[in-house]
Amino acid sequence: MKRSQLLAVAGYALLFSMVVVPVRAAEVELLPDGLISPTSNELTPSDKFKKAPPWRIGVSFPGVGNTWLVQAIEEMKYEASLHKDIGEFVFTEADWKTAKQVADVEDLLTKKVDALIVAPIAVSVLADEVAKAKTQGIVVVAYGNGRIKGDSEITAGGRVFGQQGGSFLKQVLNGQGSIWAFRGVAGSEEEQARYEGFRKGIEGSEIKIDAEVFGDWNYAKAKGLCENLVLSGKKVDGIWFSGAEMTRACIDVFRQSGKPLVPMTGEGNNGFLRVWSETGVQSIAPVFTPGLGPALVRAAVALLQGKQLHTTYVSSPPPILKADLKKYFRPDLNDAFWVPSTLPEDKIEALFKK
């Protein structure tokens, strides 16, 4: 491995290591080792949230619209099915509309759920509903960015995700050139965190962002946007993507138009890993595991059982490098599969076999 590559890998490892704290004994396993770590030494009080089963657990997700969300939700529902003490698992999705998400949460509160799992479109929108749930003695497990004040919160290191990609482009372009930025769903806190991380990653360079679009983490929308940019003749030396379905879409546009590939950031998605293997495009794949879905369920179950959790966790593992492709790419599965998954092999094959 070249010295520059070693420095890049060391940088990614540093990004990962800065945010974790030591794990205590008898830790509840929310995800396998290396995929999630506590970021606070503060623990929830023992038995504070313990309730007799069966439990009713309510979930408020921001929406669907891409295969990562579909798989995360599938993994979440599968995890819930494994716990006999969960009597009812009520899942809602807000179609990326803040007003609908507020209504969804209010409806879950009227159903008197024992635990509320919430992934907010925007933290400020749900602050009142989360506070209301807590005053009613409802356990709140949040997926967010450290500000929703749930009883335990999991974040996916969006800034680290974006910074890994930005740092990669700065390195391979020697700090110069014109790049395009494909962002996610406008207004989403995860999208904003990834974008801020990306901007941090290219700091100190002479790289210019010549085009910036919102592809909604969606293949079809991103493909249309990339086609327009290619037809416009805009100069591009590299492309940063906030999600791999958009990367795959743009690679397809480049190949179909005969345009030489430029360095493009990816993600741990089987479709992207396939085109990475086929084309040899210069890339890196930050990891955003759909296992975050079941991790939220496991956290809710642990609290209802009276177990202690850290108040905050982060999932921000090192990215997949070219040398890792054989370890993660599954040629026997279709493009919709995301790694790493918590599903058992028979379930993976039933859902994603070609």
CB 118 within 8 A of CB 140: yes
Side-chain-side CA neighbours of residue 36 (13 Å): 29
**SS3 for 231?**
helix
Assign 100 a pLDDT band (cuts: 50, 70, 90): very high
The amino acid present at 37, given as its one-letter code, is: S
Residue 174 in tokens: 């020697």
CA–CA dist 119, 111 (Å, integer) = 19
Among 152-161, 287-296, 332-341, name the one with the lowest average pLDDT: 152-161
What is the structure's pLDDT at 7?
35
List, by residue range, all CATH 3.40.50.2300 domains of the chain.
Answer: 18-156+289-317, 158-279
- Name which CATH class applies to 18-156+289-317: alpha beta
* Superfamily of the domain at 158-279: Response regulator (3.40.50.2300)
pLDDT of res. 327: 95
Task: List, in order, residues 6 or more apart from 216 with CB less than 8 Å away.
Answer: 65, 66, 184, 185, 222
- Tokens standing for 66? 């891409």
Contact 79, 19 (CB under 8 A): no
* Predicted confidence (pLDDT) per residue in 29-80, tens digit: 999 878 999 998 999 999 999 999 999 999 999 988 788 999 999 999 999 9
Q: How confident is the model at residue 188 (pLDDT cuts 50, 70, 90)?
A: confident
What are the tokens at 152?
């335990």
Q: Is the pLDDT of residue 271 over 50?
A: yes
End-to-end alpha carbon distance in the chain? 34
- Calpha distance 131→137 (Å, rounded): 10
Instruction: Give the chain's length.
Output: 354
Amino acid at 321: L
> What tens digit of pLDDT does each residue of 226-242 get?
999 999 999 999 999 99
According to DSSP, residue 96 is labeled: T
> CB of 190 within 8 A of CB of 120?
no
Residue 7, classified by CB atoms within 10 Å of its CB into exposed (0-12), middle (13-18) or buried (19+), is exposed
What does the pLDDT average to over 85-93? 97
* Residue 300 structure tokens: 């809710």
CA dihedral for 51, 56, 62, 66, sign (positive or negative)? positive
pLDDT at 10 over 50: no
